[in-house]
C-alpha cells in the first residue's frame, strides 16, 4: 500500500531531526546508509517514502527504534507540529484555492523545524487565549478567497444566466416565490413547508432547514415573501451546482469543513445572481450613480423592482469591481442587540485592502458615529418604521481617507430583539468621485469616525461609549519612555 502524504512528511521530519542531532550532513548519512544524497533529500522533504529495507537501514544508522521511525508520533520537541499535521483543520485548509501546495509548506517546516515549531506553538497559544475556533479560520479563509477574486465569480454568473434562460425567469426584476417553488418541486423533486420550523421553538432564529432524507425544505413561517424567495433560490443553488457537502440549516450551528463554508457561499452567490440579474442591475446602478443629488428612494426602488432584501441587494453590489472599476470598497453587516443595547459586526468584506471601519474581536465599542450604528439608533427611536436608508461621508481620524457610505437598517426579522444594518463603503478617490456623481451633494452629512472608542483620541466626543483606554495606555508608555531617556543621559 502506498504511503500517505502524512506518513511521508512525518518520516522525513524524523530523518532530518535525528541526522542533524548527530551533526551529519547529507553526504555523511549517505555514506553510512548507502542511500543516495538526492534520495535522502527527497525523503526529508516528504516527497518519498523509502522501501522497508531503506527504512530499517535508516533507523539502525540513526539509532532510533524502527517502530518509532514508522509511527505517526513525533518527538516532544516537535509535538505541536504533529498536532497540526494530524489535525482535520490542516487537511481542510483550502491551499489549492490560493495556489499553494502542501509540499512547499513541508519544505518550510523541514528547513528549520525548531523555529516553525515555536511559531506554531505561539499561534496555538494565541488561538486559545482569544478563543479562536476552527470555524473562524474557515470563514477568514473564505473572506480572503472572496477578496482575491474581487468577490466576483464569472463561472457562477454564467451558470445563473443559463439557469434563468432555461426556466424563462424574468431578467428585469421580480423573480416570484411561486416560480422558485415550482422549480424546486418539479426539477429537483423537493417539498416546501412554509411553516416547517413552527413545531420547533428552539429553531425560531433559523430561516430554513433542509431535510435530505425527505428532500424537504422547512421554512420559518415568520419570513416575508422576499426572504422565503432567497432561501428557495439558495436551495436551488445547492442542487443546480451539485454542491454535496453543505450545511443543512440556513445558519451554521457547527462548521465541519472549509468545503462546507465555501459551498454555502457559492449557493448564496448563485441565489443572488438569479434574483438580481447582473446586466439589468448594472444599467440601474449606472443611472443611479449619474444622478447629481443623493436619492434614497432610488435605492429602495431597486428593492421593489427585484423583490430583494437589503442583504441580497448589497451582495449584488459585487458588480462594482468588474463593471465600474470601484475596487476599493468594503461591505459590513452590524447587528443591534436591543436587549443588551450592544452592536456586533457579524459580516464584513474588504476589497483591494483592509478598509476602515472594520471588525474587531476584542470586545471594544465600535465608533457610535458609524452610519451603520447611527441608522440603527434612529430605527430604534422611530416607532412604526421598519426600514431606514442613510448616507454619510466618513472621514477616518488620523488617516485623511474618506469613504462614501450607504446603509440600510431594518428590523432583524425573524430574530426577535435584534435589528440589522448593511453598509457599502466606497473609498472616495478620484475614480470614485468621477463614477458617483452625487458624492459631494451638500445634503450628505460629513462625519469624522474611528474604529472603536477605546482606540480613539477624539476630544469631547458626544457619542463616546467607552473611555479611550488604549490611547491612555500608549500615552502612559510614552511618558515612561521619555523619563527613562532622561535618566540615561
Convert the pLDDT of each residue in 217-249 to its tens digit. Answer: 999 999 999 999 999 999 999 999 999 999 999
Checking if the pLDDT of 130 tops 60, the result is no
Residue 111 has what pLDDT?
A: 66
Residue ranges per domain, the chain?
5-132, 148-275, 325-474
b/e map 146-155, b = 16+ CB within 10 Å: beeeebbbee
Helices 225-240 + 154-166 axis angle, to 10:
110
Checking if the pLDDT of 339 tops 70, the result is yes
Residue 352 has what pLDDT?
A: 78
Residue 106 has what pLDDT?
A: 63
Q: Per residue in 446-474, pLDDT tens?
A: 999 998 999 888 888 999 998 989 888 99
Q: Which CATH number fits domain 5-132: 3.30.1300.30, 2.30.30.60, 3.40.50.150, 1.10.260.40?
A: 1.10.260.40
b/e map 194-207, b = 16+ CB within 10 Å: eebbeeeeebeebb
R_g (Cα) of the chain, nearest Å:
28
Residue 97 has what pLDDT?
A: 67
Average of per-residue pLDDT across 259-280: 95
Residue 410: pLDDT band by 50, 70, 90 thresholds?
very high
Q: Is the peptide bond before 316 cis (omega within 30 degrees of 0)?
A: no
Using alpha carbons, select from 394, 433, 392 the residue that is nearest to residue 409: 392
Can you read off the three cell numbers belonging to residue 441? Answer: 451633494
Residue 73 has what pLDDT?
A: 84
Q: Which one has a higher pLDDT value, 105 or 400?
A: 400
Helices 113-129 + 102-111 axis angle, to 10:
110
Average of per-residue pLDDT across 47-59: 92
Average of per-residue pLDDT across 156-182: 94
Checking if the pLDDT of 84 tops 90, the result is no
Checking if the pLDDT of 298 tops 70, the result is yes
Question: In this structure, which long-range contacts are made by residues 186-193, counting pairs with CB atoms below 8 Å and at least 24 apart in sequence?
Answer: 187/239, 188/215, 188/236, 188/239, 189/215, 190/215, 190/216, 190/217, 190/235, 190/239, 191/215, 191/216, 191/217, 192/216, 192/217, 192/219, 192/232, 193/217, 193/218, 193/219
Residue 93: pLDDT band by 50, 70, 90 thresholds?
low
Residue 123 has what pLDDT?
A: 62
Furthest-apart CA pair in the chain: how many Å?
85
Q: For residue 344, list its beta bridge partners.
A: 335
Average of per-residue pLDDT across 51-64: 93
Residue 35: pLDDT band by 50, 70, 90 thresholds?
very high
Residue 257 has what pLDDT?
A: 83
Kindly state the helix (H) or strand (E) to which residue 333 belongs, with its residue range. strand 329-337
The dihedrals phi and psi of 395, each to the nearest 5 degrees, come to -100, 120
Question: Pairing state of beta strands 342-350 and 329-337?
Answer: antiparallel
What is the torsional sign of CA 91, 269, 201, 333? positive
DSSP state of 367: P
Residue 489 has what pLDDT?
A: 75
Place of cell 460629513: 446
Query: Looking at the domain covering 148-275, what would its CATH class be?
Result: mainly alpha
CB-based contacts of 460, cutoff 8 Å, min separation 6: none
For the beta carbon of residue 112, count every other beta carbon within 10 angstroms.
11
Given 3-state DSSP classes, what are the helix, strand and coil percentages for the chain, each rounded to the nearest 5?
50, 15, 35
Checking if the pLDDT of 132 tops 60, the result is no
Cα–Cα distance between 375 and 202 in angstroms, integer?
30
What is the torsional sign of CA 139, 143, 149, 152? positive
DSSP state of 339: T
Average of per-residue pLDDT across 123-149: 71
Write the DSSP string, 256-277.
--HHHHHHHHHHHHHHHHHHS-
Mean pLDDT, the chain, as a whole number? 88
Residue 95 has what pLDDT?
A: 67
DSSP state of 366: B
CB-based contacts of 464, cutoff 8 Å, min separation 6: 368, 453, 456, 458
Checking if the pLDDT of 1 tops 60, the result is no
Amino acid at each position: 500500500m502506498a504511503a500517505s502524504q502524512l506518513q511521508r512528511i512525518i518520516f522525513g521530519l524524523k530523518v532530518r531531526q535525528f541526522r542533524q542531532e548527530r551533526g551529519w550532513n547529507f553526504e555523511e548519512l549517505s555514506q553510512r546508509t548507502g542511500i543516495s544524497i538526492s534520495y535522502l533529500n527527497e525523503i526529508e522533504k516528504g516527497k518519498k517514502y523509502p522501501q522497508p529495507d531503506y527504512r530499517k537501514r535508516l533507523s539502525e544508522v540513526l539509532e532510533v527504534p524502527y517502530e518509532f521511525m514508522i509511527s505517526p508520533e513525533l518527538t516532544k520537541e516537535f509535538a505541536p507540529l504533529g498536532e497540526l499535521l494530524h489535525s482535520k483543520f490542516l487537511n481542510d485548509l483550502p491551499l489549492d484555492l490560493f495556489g499553494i501546495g502542501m509540499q512547499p509548506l513541508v519544505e518550510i517546516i523541514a528547513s528549520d523545524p525548531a523555529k516553525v515549531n515555536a511559531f506554531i506553538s505561539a499561534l496555538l497559544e494565541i488561538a486559545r487565549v482569544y478563543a479562536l475556533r476552527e470555524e473562524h479560520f474557515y470563514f477568514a479563509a473564505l473572506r480572503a478567497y472572496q477578496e482575491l477574486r474581487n468577490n466576483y465569480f464569472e463561472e457562477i454568473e454564467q451558470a445563473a444566466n443559463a439557469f434563468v434562460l432555461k426556466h424563462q425567469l424574468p431578467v428585469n426584476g421580480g423573480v416570484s416565490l411561486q416560480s422558485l417553488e415550482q422549480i424546486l418541486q418539479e426539477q429537483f423533486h423537493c417539498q416546501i413547508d412554509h411553516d416547517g420550523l413552527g413545531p420547533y421553538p428552539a429553531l425560531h432564529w433559523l430561516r430554513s432547514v433542509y431535510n435530505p432524507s425527505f428532500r424537504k425544505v422547512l421554512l420559518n413561517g415568520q419570513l416575508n415573501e422576499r426572504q422565503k424567495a432567497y432561501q428557495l433560490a439558495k436551495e436551488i443553488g445547492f442542487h443546480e451546482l451539485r454542491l454535496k457537502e453543505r450545511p443543512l440549516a440556513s445558519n451554521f450551528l457547527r462548521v465541519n469543513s472549509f468545503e462546507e463554508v465555501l459551498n454555502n457561499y457559492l449557493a448564496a452567490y448563485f441565489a443572488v445572481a438569479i434574483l438580481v440579474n447582473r446586466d439589468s442591475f448594472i444599467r440601474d446602478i449606472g443611472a443611479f450613480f449619474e444622478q447629481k443629488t443623493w436619492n434614497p428612494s432610488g435605492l429602495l426602488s431597486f428593492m421593489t423592482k427585484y423583490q430583494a432584501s437589503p442583504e441580497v441587494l448589497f451582495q449584488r453590489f459585487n458588480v462594482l469591481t468588474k463593471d465600474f472599476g470601484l475596487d476599493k470598497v468594503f461591505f459590513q453587516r452590524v447587528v443591534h442587540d436591543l436587549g443588551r443595547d450592544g452592536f456586533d459586526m457579524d459580516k464584513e468584506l474588504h476589497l483591494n485592502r483592509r478598509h476602515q471601519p472594520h471588525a474587531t474581536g476584542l470586545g471594544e465599542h465600535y465608533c457610535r458615529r458609524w452610519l451603520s450604528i447611527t441608522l440603527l439608533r434612529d430605527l430604534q427611536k422611530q416607532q412604526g418604521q421598519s426600514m431606514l436608508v442613510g448616507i454619510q461621508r466618513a472621514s477616518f481620524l488620523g488617516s485623511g481617507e474618506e469613504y462614501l457610505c450607504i446603509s440600510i437598517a431594518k428590523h432583524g426579522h425573524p430574530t426577535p430583539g435584534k435589528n440589522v444594518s448593511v453598509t457599502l463603503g466606497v473609498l472616495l478617490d478620484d475614480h470614485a468621485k468621477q463614477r458617483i456623481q452625487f458624492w459631494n451633494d451638500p445634503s450628505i452629512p460629513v462625519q469624522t469616525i474611528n474604529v472603536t472608542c477605546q482606540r480613539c483620541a477624539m476630544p469631547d466626543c458626544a457619542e463616546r461609549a467607552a473611555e479611550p483606554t488604549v490611547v491612555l495606555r500608549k500615552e502612559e508608555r510614552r511618558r515612561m519612555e521619555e523619563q527613562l531617556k532622561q535618566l540615561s543621559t
